[in-house]
């Protein structure tokens, strides 16, 4: 699906992705579930690889199975925003599904007909290797691993959104500088002067372009966050948490 003018690949008419996933309009429901899938499949895959120590092929099957069930079994109907965050609910569903399948010794290889989002497991596997560095992945599992991967995916999708929006608006220099400076390795990070020289622009332009890109990135994060939270209340809490303020 081509992005719209705001760079949204899956524009939703409702603020809450959960509400959209339960809409009467089947297209709206599919779009919402695709938004959830896009946002969560990487954390799910990496989580089951590390938490339950699934082999790669089993983890791929499980991930596809999980999101297929999300659509067919209407898991989200039992989600109550008042009781917790959407990601906590999904993580609980993952654990429950895994334990049920293990208990029943029933893990089918399912088709991914219900999943419209492209699941690049190869890329996910490389990311897993990069984040766990040397050694067996099981040694690097942390209690809040799912949450950390959630934040990583949120930012990564926001970067994609920013890139799409800037390209549509003809502001490619801004996003290029942002990727070079803010997304680069700390040890290889160029200075503003170096960037100015490289792109043949003034240093003040580097400052202004980066400021623009950061502002837009922030906006993209908040837009993306709306699609990854279950309610307006959860969105506000997560926004405040990400912006450094603990919710009351």
Among 25, 182, 198, 233, binds another protein (CB under 8 A): 182
In angstroms, what is the minimal distance from the CB of 45 to another protein? 13
- What part of residues 146-175 is at the interface with another protein (CB under 8 A)? 148, 151-152, 155-157, 159-160
* Residue among 169 and 211 whose Cβ is closer to another protein: 211
Q: Reduce the DSSP state of residue 105 to 3 states and report it.
A: coil
Assess contact for 31 and 12: CB atoms under 8 A.
Answer: yes
Separation of CA 163 from chain center = 15
In angstroms, what is the minimal distance from the CB of 97 to another protein? 25
Q: Compute, in degrees rounded to 10, the torsion defined by CA atoms 211, 214, 215, 217.
A: 160
Backbone angles phi, psi at 76, to 5 degrees: -70, -15
* Residue among 22 and 132 whose Cβ is closer to another protein: 132
In angstroms, what is the minimal distance from the CB of 109 to another protein? 26
Among 2, 77, 105, 130, binds another protein (CB under 8 A): 130
Which candidate, 109, 100, 85, 102, places its Cα nearest to that of 238? 85
Residue 22 exposed, middle or buried by CB count within 10 Å (0-12, 13-18, 19+): middle
- What part of residues 110-129 is at the interface with another protein (CB under 8 A)? 120, 123, 126-127
Assess contact for 17 and 34: CB atoms under 8 A.
Answer: no
Interaction between residue 145 and another protein (CB under 8 A): no
Q: Reduce the DSSP state of residue 83 to 3 states and report it.
A: helix
* Residue among 95 and 203 whose Cβ is closer to another protein: 203
Interaction between residue 109 and another protein (CB under 8 A): no
Which candidate, 146, 114, 96, 134, places its Cα nearest to that of 37? 114
What does the binding site for another protein look like in residue numbers (CB under 8 A)? 120, 123, 126-127, 130-131, 148, 151-152, 155-157, 159-160, 179, 182-186, 207-208, 211, 214-215, 217-218, 221-222, 235-236, 239-240, 242-246
């Amino acid at each position: 699906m081509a992005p719209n003018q705001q760079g949204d690949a899956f524009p939703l008419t409702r603020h809450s992705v959960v509400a959209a996933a339960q809409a009467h309009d089947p297209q709206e429901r599919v779009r919402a579930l695709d938004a959830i899938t896009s946002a969560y499949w990487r954390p799910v895959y990496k989580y089951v690889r590390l938490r339950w120590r699934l082999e790669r092929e089993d983890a791929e099957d499980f991930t596809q199975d999980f999101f297929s069930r999300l659509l067919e079994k209407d898991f989200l109907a039992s989600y109550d925003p008042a009781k917790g965050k959407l990601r906590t609910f999904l993580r609980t569903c993952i654990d429950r599904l895994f334990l049920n399948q293990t208990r029943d010794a029933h893990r089918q290889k399912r088709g991914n007909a219900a999943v419209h989002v492209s699941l690049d497991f190869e890329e996910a596997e490389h990311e897993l290797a990069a984040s766990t560095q040397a050694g067996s992945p099981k040694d690097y599992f942390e209690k809040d691993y799912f949450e950390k991967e959630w934040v990583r995916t949120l930012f990564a999708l926001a970067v994609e959104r920013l890139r799409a929006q800037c390209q549509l608006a003809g502001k490619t220099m801004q996003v290029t500088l942002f990727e070079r400076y803010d997304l680069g390795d700390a040890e290889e990070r160029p200075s503003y002067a170096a960037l100015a020289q490289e792109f043949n622009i003034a240093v003040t332009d580097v400052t202004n372009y980066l400021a623009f890109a950061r502002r837009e990135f922030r906006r993209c994060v908040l837009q993306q966050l709306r699609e990854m939270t279950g309610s307006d209340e959860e969105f506000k809490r997560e926004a405040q948490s990400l912006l450094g303020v603990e919710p009351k």
